[in-house]
Structure 1
Amino acid sequence: MHHDKRGLPQTAASAEAMTAFDATVEAYLAFELQTGDRLKETLTLDPAMPLAHCLKGCFLLLFAKRNLAKRATKALADARAAGAGAGLTPREAQHLAGLEAWLGGDLQAAAACWDAILVEHPQDIVALKLAQYLHFYLGDAPAMRRSVTRPLPAWSEDLPGYGYVLGLKAFALEECGYYAGAEAIGRDAVARNPRDIWAAHAVAHVMEMQDRAEEGSKWIDGLEPAWSGCNNFAYHVYWHRCLFLLDQGDTAAVLRHYDGKVRADLSEEYLDISNAVALLWRLEQRGVDVGARWDELAEKATRLGEDHMLIFADAHYLMALAATRRDKQAEALLDSLEDFARGQGTQEAVARDVGLPLGRAILAYGQGRYDDAVLALQPCRAKLNRLGGSHAQRDLFEQMMIDAAIKAGKIEIARTLLLERAETRRDNAWNHAMLVAAERTLTPN
């Protein structure tokens, strides 16, 4: 038995292996490209470390790809076998239970496992991070805030990783609408550790929700040099910069950043594709010619669209197919989603209640059936949070409904939605432009 850098006991073969595990966790918190290599090093030093195998399973599930689930299942089996040989602490056993629940499709149960760890071990930063991820994709912002707030009194500046915990707190506060507190804590976290891209991203979210576009662009520009070793999560922060540039009306710069940053490596990661889809839709809605950029996204969506690991991702895959009028592939994805929705897991329920009506609305929008798009979206609009993702990400679907309502001639519906959106986005340039257009339609000269 050894102890991690925060003093928690852990089954490990040597102090060297424990140090390597700590480095893996640090890399994970910093979204480093080297995270996988750090984990491989840990397992080379200690092939029977239960938590290292468990973390491997969690990392594989974070990719949200069906073909990696089998490898995650093996990682869980390896963790159990290692635990059978060396013994497991109750904390380690609870980590394994979280991975098992996640693999079984019960995201609520998995989040509950990591939250339970934090009751007795509030300094378990892996549990903190995984709980936030799951609450985020459960669309439960209050649970995300509670999850990080409860353990926080057990933390202090002297504990390694304290800044990362502040970053988690900042993002949770932002998603709950506590913008002043979120920004202050996020800035504190970044001041402690400029490499903390999650905390920087939390502050960018505040600026997005408060329509502080120029300030947001400068914030990201100033911190970008610190993220040279960051993995593809950096593309998401560059997506935020594109949103700021879009609000400033600089669509040429958005396209440059799209090609050079957001889609620099044309990856198949669901978050990268979601970023790209959301940007291209916004650009086209503003009348910008995006050329053939949709095509590679649609090709990837065809390959990935039946994974159904996250319905949030499925919705974006459908948008890529609808935008390129690949109606046959879009219908096949919807049929697959309907079959998936008959299951009993967390995402299956999301597919039934939100994914299917949203998917039908997306297809209708792509086909120019704007009336049908509005009708399909109306019943599920209040449940869009269950897709997971942030307010900024889900705003795409709000904008789609507004645009569809205007194009369908349902101006009163569009105006109502715009006025409602203005309650939280008072200075939003897109909202103002669309509201002016709606008012002109209602009161023509």
Structure 2
Amino acid sequence: MQHDIRGLAQTAARAEAQRAFDATVEAYLGFQLATGDRLKETLALDPAMPLAHALKGCFLLLFAKRDLAARAAKALADAQAAGAEAGLVPREAQHLSALEAWLSGDMAAAADCYDAILLDHPHDIVALKLAQYLHFYLGDAAAMRGSVARPFHAWSEAVPGYGYVLGLKAFALEETGDYAAAEATGRAAVERNPSDIWAAHAVAHVMEMQDRPGEGAPWIDGLEEHWAGCNNFAYHVYWHRCLFLLEQGRSDAVLAHYDTKVRGDLSEEYLDISNAVALLWRLEQRGIDVGGRWAELAEKSARLAEDHMLVFADAHFLMASAAAGRPGEAERLLESLERFATGYGTEADVAHEVGLPLCRAVLAHRRARYGEAVDALLPHRAALNRIGGSRAQRDLFEQLLIDAAVKGGKPALARALLSERADVRRDNAWNRQMAARIDD
């Protein structure tokens, strides 16, 4: 038995292995490219560390790829075997239960497991981080805020990782609309650690939701040098910079950033593809020619779209196929989602109740059947949060609905939706542009 850097008891063969696990967690919290290497080092030092195997399983699930689920299940089995051999403290057993629930498709149960860990062990920063991810996937901003608020009483400058916890809190505050507190908390985290890209990203979200592009792009520019060791999450922050540039009407700069930053390495990660899809759609909606950029997104989406790990990703994959002019492929992906929606699990339920209407609206919009798009999406709009993603990410589909109402000859609905959006986005250039189209 060893203790981690925050004093929590953990099954580990020796102190050296425990310190390697602490380094893995630190790298994970910082979105470091070296995270996988740190975990390999940990398991090389202690092949029977239960939490290391469990964390490996979680990392694999976070990629949201169906072909990695079997490896995640193997990691769980390894963790269970190691625990049976060496014994588990109750906290470790709860981690294994969380991973088991997640693997079964019950993300809500997994989130509950991590939140339960935090009641007795508020310094379990891995549980804190994974709980935030799962509440985020579930689209439950209030639960995400509560999840980080409950253990926060135990955190202070004296506890290692406090800055990362501030970053988690900042994002939860932003997603529940507490923008002033979110910005202050996120800035405080960045002051402690300029390389904390999650905290920097939380502040960027505030600036996006408050329509502050003149501040948002420089905020990212000023911190980018600190993210040299970051993984592909940096591309998502560059996506935020593109949104700021787009709001300023700088479409040439957006396309340049798209090619060199957002899609610089043409990855197949779902978040990277979702970033790109959402950006190209916004550009085209503003009348900007994006050239042949849809094609590579459609090709990658076709390989991933039948995984159905996250409905949020499914909607973007289908949008890529439709936008690339591959109607047969888009229909096949929709049919696959229809089959998936008859199954068991959190995402199957979301697909049935929200994902399918959303994807049908996407297809109808791309085929210029704007009335059909409105009819498909409008009744389910209030439940869009269930697909997960942030407010800024889901705004893509709010814009699609408004655009369909404008183009579909529904001016009263379009004005009403724009008025509602303007109540939150009070100084939004896109709102003004769309209102002018209605008046024309």
Give your verdict on TM over 0.5: yes
**Paired residue for 2:399?**
399
Give the AA of the match of 2:181: G
**Paired residue for 1:231?**
231
Alignment of 1:9-408 (within 5 A): 9-408=9-408
Point out the more displaced range, 126-135 or 335-344: 335-344
Consecutive unaligned residues in structure 2, runs of 5 or more? none
Give the AA of the match of 1:398: E
| Matches of 1:291 and 1:40, distance apart in 2 | 42
Point out the more displaced range, 367-376 or 237-246: 367-376
Give the AA of the match of 2:314: D
| Matches of 2:257 and 2:378, distance apart in 1 | 34
Point out the more displaced range, 328-337 or 224-233: 328-337
SS in 2 for 1:229: coil
Q: What CA deviation, in whole Å up to 9, does each residue of 1:313-371 have, x standing for no partner?
A: 00000110111121111111111111111112000000001110001111111111111
| Matches of 1:435 and 1:138, distance apart in 2 | 32
Give the TM-score of the pair, scaled to structure 1: 0.98
| Matches of 1:436 and 1:422, distance apart in 2 | 14
Give identity over the alignment, percent.
75
Give the AA of the match of 2:154: A
Q: What CA deviation, in whole Å up to 9, does each residue of 1:254-279 have, x standing for no partner?
A: 00000000000000000000000000
| Matches of 1:235 and 1:319, distance apart in 2 | 20
**Paired residue for 2:410?**
410
Give the AA of the match of 2:64: A
Q: What CA deviation, in whole Å up to 9, does each residue of 1:22-70 have, x standing for no partner?
A: 0000000000000000000000000000000000000000000000000
| Matches of 1:24 and 1:212, distance apart in 2 | 36
Give the AA of the match of 1:68: L
Give the AA of the match of 2:197: I
Alpha-carbon contact 1:325-1:367 (below 8 Å) kept: no
Q: What CA deviation, in whole Å up to 9, does each residue of 1:150-200 have, x standing for no partner?
A: 000101101110000000000000000000000000000000001100000
Give the AA of the match of 2:46: D
Consecutive unaligned residues in structure 1, runs of 5 or more? none
Alpha-carbon contact 1:173-1:179 (below 8 Å) kept: yes
**Paired residue for 2:434?**
434
Point out the more displaced range, 102-111 or 327-336: 327-336
Give the AA of the match of 1:59: F
| Matches of 1:380 and 1:41, distance apart in 2 | 47
Alpha-carbon contact 1:145-1:176 (below 8 Å) kept: yes
Q: What CA deviation, in whole Å up to 9, does each residue of 1:72-130 have, x standing for no partner?
A: 00000000000011000000000000000000000000000000000000000000000
| Matches of 1:12 and 1:180, distance apart in 2 | 42
| Matches of 1:415 and 1:270, distance apart in 2 | 33
| Matches of 1:212 and 1:30, distance apart in 2 | 26
Give the AA of the match of 2:265: D
**CA drift at 1:380:** 1.0
Q: What CA deviation, in whole Å up to 9, does each residue of 1:380-428 have, x standing for no partner?
A: 1111000000000000000001111111111111111000100000100
| Matches of 2:83 and 2:171, distance apart in 1 | 34
| Matches of 1:57 and 1:215, distance apart in 2 | 39
Alpha-carbon contact 1:325-1:366 (below 8 Å) kept: no
| Matches of 1:206 and 1:219, distance apart in 2 | 11
| Matches of 2:356 and 2:140, distance apart in 1 | 20
Give the AA of the match of 2:262: V
Alpha-carbon contact 1:65-1:309 (below 8 Å) kept: yes
Point out the more displaced range, 35-44 or 403-412: 403-412
| Matches of 1:231 and 1:265, distance apart in 2 | 12
| Matches of 1:192 and 1:158, distance apart in 2 | 13
| Matches of 1:419 and 1:121, distance apart in 2 | 45
**CA drift at 1:432:** 1.1
